[in-house]
Structure 1
Amino acid sequence: MNAPPLPERSAAAQAGTAGTGPVRPRMPFVGALMYVLLFVGGLTGSTALARTTYPSPFGGNADILDYFAHHRDAVLLQGVLQGVSAVGLLVLAAALADAAAGRSTDDRAVHPRLIAAAGGLGAAFQLLSALLGWVAVRDTTQSSPALVRALHDLSFVTGGPGAVIGVGVMIGATALALRGALPGWIRPAGLVLCAVALASLLCLATQSAAFLLPVGRFLGMAWLLVVTLLLGRVGRGPRSAGGGR
């Protein structure tokens, strides 16, 4: 009548979890697709609406103030789409953390926690950046050019290095956590992208490092799309062999 020892039962459960992969294999890809498509849609949509690109914080004061004064709808469109994109990033971080935890045999594994924390931080910075754009085009704000410029700079710092570093660390932790379930090139590529994202913080010290932001952001998006698509296939395979649910 004695029950099986708890450690043996726990080990079996962990082994079963590690073999079956994430419970919802499509969820990471859905989150990645939502994050990427809405972010890119915000950039392209606002550019088409304003017929000019969003101003760089390294540009002249006159160009920045003119953009926020005459392209309110473009700023709002970009803010809405990138704000919802941040929700997709949050979903993605949670799904990747769940996948990493499902493949770990250590209850104290740091990678799932780091994935969730870094992804959540990146999503929070991106959402804050989107909200700051709404404030910058308010009529009361427009009466103070210095305030508009300060909001633009703050939007850049949060949506640029802040968000990119968060996503980069999430990518690095994912590459380490899922290295056994994905092709061999995934891990070094993810770690390189993590290093690029961290190095993008140098743009606050020198404009010449600003190119690291789009490199880290858009190559990181491509990496996430590929990895989550592969992860979904890996997740479906073992359940099909075992009978599934």
Structure 2
Amino acid sequence: MTTMTRQQGGPRLLAPALAFGVLTVASAVLGAAGTRPDSSAAEVAAYVSGNQGVVRLLAFAVFGASVPLAVWAATAYRRQRRLGVAAPGAVIGLTGGVLSAAALAMSGLITWTAAQASDAPAVARALTSLAFASGGPGFVVPLALLIAGIAVPALFLKLLPRWMSVAGLVVAAAAVLASLSLLTPALYPLIPVGRFGGLVWLVAASVLLPRDRAARTD
């Protein structure tokens, strides 16, 4: 009976959160010296041609990060249901987690494809722009849904410290505003705010979110 109860409660959240964090940081390091959305086709082709190994590693890290994120979202949803969250927030969070993981997977696969197109500058540039769009605003906006879908129910049911829930909503708001970066490059800085702020929040929530109502925050 004890084993069955533990299984029904789901695995611990920290392991997939840390795996997601390691791969996210790795992708940031690998992509730090890469091209930007406003780089010319010639610059993109030259970088891809001269850094095939780095680009492939970047693609692997970005794609790989999507897997533990999807696992985290599913596990968090199961945890919320166990904690008695019946509001739509739990489903919204799961939906956001699935969409953000899918966006990351797409970004990684497109980056890998771009690495094969160094002899076609226009194609390479189009692919890297698409990889940026899916891995940037396309990722952080649904990530905001994942965070808000956990933070809002946790705020009302006191499943997390109040400051933690409020911090999640602030990060989620910044991530949603990152969608405006599609209109102006001036708002590109909101993308890493949503990405890394969201990462820190997910890791903290993995530690603080209780496994059952008896351990909730009062």
Indicate the RMSD between aligned Cα atoms, in angstroms. Answer: 2.1
Within 5 Å, give how 1:156-171 maps onto structure 2: 156-171=132-147
Pairing 1:152–2:128 present: yes
The reply to whether residue 84 of structure 1 matches residue 64 of structure 2 is: yes
Of the three residues 106, 119, 122, the one matched with 2:97 is 119
- The amino acid of 1:30's aligned partner reads A
1:54 to 34, 49, 61: 34
Cα deviation for residue 93 of structure 1 reads 0.5
Structure 1 residue corresponding to 2:48, chosen from 68, 86, 92? 68
Contact 2:137–2:179 at 8 Å: present in 1 too? Answer: yes
Counterpart residue type for residue 122 of structure 2 = A
Residue in 1 aligned with 2:119? 143
Match among 185, 200, 207 for residue 207 of structure 1: 185
Q: TM-score, normalised by structure 1?
A: 0.79
> 1:93: which partner in 2?
73
Structure 2 match to 1:24: 10
Corresponding residue for residue 224 of structure 1? 202
2:118–2:124 Cα contact (<8 Å) kept: yes
Q: Relative to 1, partners in 2 of residues 1:236 and 1:157: Cα closer, same or farther, differing over 3 Å? A: same
Deviation at residue 177 of structure 1 after TM alignment = 2.1
Unmatched runs of 5 consecutive residues or more in structure 1? 1-16, 240-245
**Structure 2 residue corresponding to 1:40, chosen from 18, 22, 25:** 25
Letter in 2 for 1:199: L
Shift of 1:150: 0.5
Moved over 6 A (4+): none
- State the TM-score, normalizing by the size of structure 2: 0.88
Q: Quote the sequence identity (%).
A: 30
Whether the aligned pair in 1 keeps the contact of 2:19 and 2:68 (CA below 8 Å) is yes
Q: Which amino acid aligns with 1:34?
A: A
Contact residue 136 and residue 151 of structure 1 kept, 8 A: yes
**Partner SS for 1:89:** helix
1:134 has 2:112 as partner = yes
Q: 2:160 corresponds to which residue?
A: 182
**Separation in 2 of the partners of 1:237 and 1:196?**
30
Does the 8 A contact of 2:14 with 2:207 survive in 1? yes
Equivalences, count: 208
C-alpha distance in structure 2 between counterparts of 1:105 and 1:218, whole Å: 26
